[in-house]
Amino acid sequence: FAAFPNLKRWHEAIAARPATQRAYALRQQVNPNAGKPLSDEERKHLFGQR
């Protein structure tokens, strides 16, 4: 973000919003695999490859 101060400001403003904070708090409950790498099979399914 160092090269893009306006992008950093925007990112911080969005992260500070109550709805954004609530959504991130529920992330593990809604998607327990959030942030984990996808397997080859999951990646194929996600991107419509057969």
Residue 12: domain span? 5-46
Rounded to whole angstroms, how far apart are CA atoms 12 and 6? Answer: 10
Radius of gyration (Cα) for the chain, nearest Å? 16
pLDDT at 23: 92
pTM of the model: 0.58
Query: What's the domain count of the chain?
Result: 1
| Residue 20 reports pLDDT greater than 90 | yes
Query: What is the mean pLDDT of the segment spanning 4-27?
Result: 96
pLDDT at 50: 67
Contacts of 43 (CB under 8 A, 6+ apart): 49
Quick check: 31 and 38 in contact, CB under 8 A? Answer: no
